Structure 1
């Protein structure tokens, strides 16, 4: 993965590890075949980004990933004039590059960006498949293979930060969630490089946290979080130490909540 700030470009040689849970891969293939944009929705750390990486690799398409943030402007996506060697030159933004190259452009957590920025993608997300480059006085037609993919976390976003209906209705929606235990165990074991038993214990803890009644947590333990704990174990840290650092302390700063999570972890983890 080649990275450039908030932009990541996937190289053709990588084969991301992903295990399908439902028909998400079939839907994505069909959308890609018709050049249709895709909206991925699901909780933080459930595998949305990895899913896009895996599908881009399977389809043999380039992938340009952009992390959405509140300071993102339309110029960050489309491009801008920059001063280079005493001359003013136009530099394509990641969205423009994807349009020209026929790549997949993945806008991660797109609702974090300003609304006027999101509007830029509308002509690309309908029958026009065009990108207006106002500063160049021209309009680009998307090259064959171009596909727009956006994602967001419905449970995390506030009313003020949500996808407008005018945007949403341009997309084919795919809902992702944390995978069933048996699949999540495979993912954690593979990604962290740990044995199946340890991965199974981490997944049981993750599900116990997700199923807490009246949980005060804003976010629950994600698959990504369990993988991080597994990576610590793979580096020689004890399972309890890994869980404390990668799960318990990460989920909350409230002493009472941290204490309760620690007690839950003690109940789930095997006794030393």
Structure 2
């Protein structure tokens, strides 16, 4: 991102950087599809840095309204004044606007994106009676997890077909080991143990997990190990706990952790 001296750490798993930059040059919007914790947000941060564009991120939720994105009139000091929302700021500034987990927002909210995601590249602001042309450098990026979302929470076809899709997944084991080691600041051999645990969980079927172990939770476990916890303690706190509340599933995962991880503390 502009103003940042160091590129956000991101290791590509395919041609996603090439596709994103091509879409950006052509003024196309991008939808990132992938499991929770696979690096979608970090990827966008790295692309903003490479393209020298400011990044405005919005964490979407089911109460997110059009006004939350576009803006609203607020009373300040007895006067009513218009305050731009994050999407409007990005349109005016030529920034990358990243809507994380966009399907969590109400569908009537996402419709406002349509004029920005086709050849018009415009944002109508009905409250002001104006239509803004996107400044050079503006790019709309949205993300969601297609494996987690239900039929009732999915991108409308009319929205989906306005965007270039980039599918992200968990990296290959050797790449993920490097990521965990660097991000957690731990020895590569310990990172390799955690990645083997993560892969074992991802291979499980019909065990009652809505989500599998992400790269994010493996990094969290690694950081706990770096703080002095044993690998098993760290894995139970950072991997097992966040994945399930079910006692039976928990017991099964703990047994798996014990089989893969040594019960020794990380050296200071």
TM-score normalised by length of structure 1: 0.95
- Structure-2 residue corresponding to 1:75: 67
Shift of 1:233: 1.1
Report SS of the residue matched to 1:209: helix
CA distance in 1 between partners of 2:81 and 2:222 (Å): 47
Report the Cα distance in structure 2 between the residues aligned to 1:259 and 1:214, rounded to whole angstroms. 15
Partner of 2:3: 12
Contact 2:56 2:90 in 1 (8 A): yes
Displaced runs of 4 or more, over 6 A: none
Q: Distance in 2 between matches of 1:125 and 1:243?
A: 42
In 1: Cα distance, 2:229 partner to 2:83 partner: 46
Aligned residues of 2:207 and 2:249 also touching (Cα < 8 A): no
Match of 1:47 among 14, 17, 39: 39
Equivalent pairs, count: 263
Residue in structure 2 matching 1:196, options 188, 197, 210: 188
Residue 109 of structure 2 corresponds to which residue in structure 1? 117
- Give deviations 1:66-103, integer Å, cap 9, x for gaps: 00100000000000011111111100000000000000
Q: How far apart, in 2, do the equivalents of 1:234 and 1:271 lie?
A: 14
Whole-angstrom distance in 1 between the partners of 2:207 and 2:11: 29
Mapped to 1, the partners of 2:183 and 2:163 lie a distance apart of 31
Distance in 1 between the 2:207 and 2:7 partners? 37
Do the aligned partners of 2:232 and 2:263 also contact (CA within 8 Å) in 1?
Answer: no
1:165-244 → structure 2 map (5 Å cutoff)? 165-244=157-236
How far has the Cα of 1:195 moved from its partner? 1.1
Report the CA distance between 1:52 and its aligned residue: 0.4
**Cα offsets for 1:15-39 (capped at 9, x unmatched):** 2000001100000010011110000
Residue by residue over 1:100-141, the C-alpha shift from the partner in whole angstroms, topping out at 9 and shown as x without a partner, is 000000000000000110000000000000001110010000
Unpaired runs of 5+ in structure 2? none
Q: Quick one: which of 13, 27, 31 aligns to 1:35? A: 27
Counterpart-to-counterpart distance in 2, 1:228 and 1:270:
17
Query: Aligned equivalents of 1:271 and 1:118: distance in 2?
Result: 48
1:58 corresponds to 2:50: yes
Deviation at 1:12, TM superposition (A): 2.5
CA distance in 2, matches of 1:163, 1:30: 23
Give the TM-score normalised by the residue count of structure 2.
Answer: 0.96
Match of 1:94 in 2: 86
Partner of 1:105: 97
What's the RMSD between the two structures over aligned residues?
1.0
Return the offset for 1:245: 0.3
d(CA) in 1 for partners of 2:59, 2:162: 21
Structure 1 portions without partners, runs of 5+:
1-9
User: 1:240, CA displacement in angstroms?
Assistant: 1.1
Partner of 1:141: 133
